[in-house]
Amino acid sequence: MEDELPNPVTQQTTRVAHRGTENRVLLSRFLVREGGNGWFVYDRERKGAALVGISLAERLTKEQAEQIQKTLSANSEKSSGNGSVD
């Protein structure tokens, strides 16, 4: 059984898997965050801005960051690679 919880930052949901009495939250690898110079996509594995090709996903509008986050998340789910977009 899974529930979906809203994420107030990205307006996306996080799936919560239930196993008996144990709950496990499946965290998204990529998050949209506001920085000093606009928005950026944070990569939990890199512990910093996400890579898009050879560039960092930073200094973006919120809309750009959200679109990149969706693309990176979709690519990350399809493969177990580094999650970068070429």
Q: Bridge partners of 9?
A: none
Q: Per-residue pLDDT for the chain (86 aa), expressed as one digit of tens each?
A: 555 555 555 555 555 555 665 676 678 999 999 999 999 999 999 999 999 999 999 999 999 999 999 999 999 888 755 445 55
d(CA 21, CA 57): 39
pLDDT value of residue 83: 47
